[in-house]
Structure 1
Amino acid sequence: MDEVELLRRRMQAQFGRARTRAAAAAGTSGGVQAQDAGAARLGLRARGVADPGEPGRALAAGETVVLALMRGTLHLVPAEDARWMLGLFAARNLAAGARRRRELGLTEEVCARAGELLPALLDVPRGRAELVRLLNNQGLGIDPTGQAPAHLMGWATAHGLLCRGADVTPRDPGYLPLPQGRPAPEGPAAELAGRYLAAFGPAEAADFAAWSGLPVREARRAVAAAGPEEVAPGLFAAPGAGPLPAGPPVVRLLGAFDNYVIGYRNRDALLAPEFARRINAGGGIVKPALVADGRVLGSWRREKGALVVEPFRALPAAVRDELDGEAAAVAAFLQVDAALRVERPGTS
């Protein structure tokens, strides 16, 4: 399989879906990166959610929730999948955060006492600051100004006590009890591997390991158990997956931290190494990206009255033609009056 076909097939898997609801888009994607709420909304839009109000309504209705899952990062997932997905990652995430919790004064005793008190405090969705204040009223002594509140919520999430839902005030996510959801699948790692391959394939087992954070050996077993189609040596896709139909290039303006950009062990095919730091400059920041037929061609940003695209090189005419419609769709989804502005390569 040559690189062009590989990327077009991945583009079809990731972005070739019909219009859908937020929970369905998150579920078929294996979860949508959600450490930035605005970026998560754009992630859903790129995967078939056309109604700008749908992401917020799904959170408010409890159809979707946000949890620390793959690689310990926040993901938006269907509420019905939250508990079994958490079961795959909770122990790993707890172990990874143990040292930092101790440094923040979140001793085992403090966390255990918080775990006893939190269920009664979640009779209504409450913000993090309010929960910490109520816990401190019971003498827990949690520093409300630093990282301790976030790490305590992470501990409580990993123990199945709560999850994040809709904001209770602007930029203050509400916490609510973890939904019961549906029964765990017989092989949860294989279930997740199947969803990954359906959304990211063709991909290697090592790609699934890098995206999920599971050990490579466990990831290989999960991929094998998912029953994929081997479309090239070592490359797997969901059964029946096919290449992108012929036609104009498929162009997407992706939000920050998008699944597609960070979903593979080796990203050289989708993002040329000489431009990699223009998207991922380090420090955990992954910028919004312009993607055409699976290849990252530049970054973009919002300015007052404009969506500004910074291409790495001059854009092909066919990509430029499709970019106009994509920018208009993004502006409509964001409910802003913003014109497209494409900067000349090398001007920033």
Structure 2
Amino acid sequence: MDDQELLLRRMHAQFGRPEAAAVAVARSSGGVQAQDAAAARLALRARGVADPAEPGRAQAAGEVVSTWLMRGTLHLVPAADARWMLGLFAARNLAGGARRRRELGLTDEICARALELLPTLPQGPHSRAALVALLGERGVGIDPKGQAPAHLMAYAAAHGLLCRGADVAPREPGYLPMPAGGPPPADPAAALAGRYLAAFGPAGPADFGAWAGLPVTAARSAFEAASAEQPSPGLFAVAGAAGPSSGPPLVRLLGAYDGYLLGYRSRAVMLDEAFAQRINAGGGVIRPAVVADGRVLGTWRRERDGLVVEAFGPLPRGVRAALAEEAAAVAAFLGVPDVLTLA
């Protein structure tokens, strides 16, 4: 399998599915990166959620929730799956945040008392500030202006007490009790590996480990249990997965922190090293990207009078035509004029 075929298969696995509801996209993607709410909405759109009201509706209905999972990062997942997915990452995330909690004054005693009180508070959703105020009224004093409240929310989430639901105000996420969910799969790690391969394959165990934040040995074991097939040495895919059919280029305008850019150990095959810093200049920031048939060809931004694309070089005619169609769909989703500017 050469790089072109590999990228085509990955692109169509990630973005080539028919229109779907937010909960279905969150499930088939293995979770949607959600530390940036606007970027999460764009990630859903790129994978088949055409209605701009659908992400908010799904959250308000309790179909999807956000919690700290892969790599200790917020991900949007089906409510039915949140608890068993949390079981894969909670201990690792708690250990990873222990030092920072101590630095913020979140002692073991404060955290334990908060865990006791949270289930007794009035049912949410509540803003983070409201939860801190309610805990303060009951003797758990937390500085509301620093980072301590955010880390306490993540700590409580790792213990299965709460998660993020619909916003309670603009740019103000609401916290509510973690849903009970459905019965867990017999092998949660294998189930997650199967979802990863369906969305990101062909890929290797090291890719899965990098995406999930798991050791390669654990990732390899999950691949083996997922009954994956090997279409090429070192690369695995869902058994029976078909390759993409011929057609015009598949182009997507991806939001910041999109999972496609975070789904592999290396971006070298999709992104020319000469332009890598224009996507990731450091500090963990992943900029919005223009992707065509798996290759990152530029960046883009939203402006008041439309969308602006900064390509890394001349775009082939077929890509330009597909880009115009994609930009029109993104503009409609964002509610901006259907004006595309190539900078």
Give TM-score scaled by structure 2 length: 0.99
User: What is aligned with 2:48?
Assistant: 48
Q: CA deviation at 1:134?
A: 1.1
How far apart, CA to CA, are the structure 1 residues paired with 2:322 and 2:80? 36
- Per-residue CA deviation, residues 255-279 of structure 1 (Å, 9 max, x unaligned), is 1000001100011011111111100
- What secondary structure does 1:286 align onto? coil
1:117 aligned partner, one-letter code: L
Please tell me whether residue 169 in structure 1 is matched to residue 165 in structure 2. Answer: no
Question: CA-atom RMSD, angstroms?
Answer: 0.8
Give TM-score scaled by structure 1 length: 0.97
How far apart, CA to CA, are the structure 2 residues paired with 1:253 and 1:241? 25
1:217 aligned partner, one-letter code: T
- What secondary structure does 2:77 align onto? strand
How far apart, CA to CA, are the structure 1 residues paired with 2:151 and 2:25? 28
- What secondary structure does 1:249 align onto? coil
How far apart, CA to CA, are the structure 1 residues paired with 2:111 and 2:338? 47
User: What is aligned with 1:88?
Assistant: 88
- Per-residue CA deviation, residues 116-145 of structure 1 (Å, 9 max, x unaligned), is 111122512100011111111222220100
Q: CA deviation at 1:108?
A: 0.6
Please tell me whether residue 325 in structure 1 is matched to residue 334 in structure 2. Answer: no
User: What is aligned with 1:221?
Assistant: 221
Query: 1:196-345 maps to which residues of 2 (within 5 A)?
Result: 196-343=196-343
Query: Is the CA contact 1:122–1:177 (under 8 Å) kept in the aligned structure 2?
Result: no
User: What is aligned with 2:69?
Assistant: 69
Query: 1:3-152 maps to which residues of 2 (within 5 A)?
Result: 3-152=3-152
Q: CA deviation at 1:190?
A: 0.4
Instruction: Give aligned-pair identity as a percent.
Output: 69
How far apart, CA to CA, are the structure 2 residues paired with 1:124 and 1:293? 43
Q: CA deviation at 1:336?
A: 2.2
- Per-residue CA deviation, residues 295-346 of structure 1 (Å, 9 max, x unaligned), is 0000001111121101111111111111111000001111222411111xxx
How far apart, CA to CA, are the structure 1 residues paired with 2:340 and 2:197? 34
- What secondary structure does 2:300 align onto? strand
1:26 aligned partner, one-letter code: A
Show structure 1 runs of 4+ deviating over 6 A.
none
Which ranges of structure 2 fall in alignment gaps of 5 or more residues? none
How far apart, CA to CA, are the structure 2 residues paired with 1:121 and 1:331? 42
Query: Is the CA contact 2:306–2:336 (under 8 Å) kept in the aligned structure 1?
Result: no
User: What is aligned with 1:346?
Assistant: none
- What secondary structure does 1:77 align onto? strand
- Per-residue CA deviation, residues 165-224 of structure 1 (Å, 9 max, x unaligned), is 000011110000000111111110000000000000000011000000111101000001
2:41 aligned partner, one-letter code: R
Query: Is the CA contact 1:304–1:338 (under 8 Å) kept in the aligned structure 2?
Result: no
- What secondary structure does 1:126 align onto? coil
How far apart, CA to CA, are the structure 2 residues paired with 1:91 and 1:284? 23
1:90 aligned partner, one-letter code: A
1:88 aligned partner, one-letter code: L
- Per-residue CA deviation, residues 62-117 of structure 1 (Å, 9 max, x unaligned), is 00000110000010000000000000000000000000001001001101111111
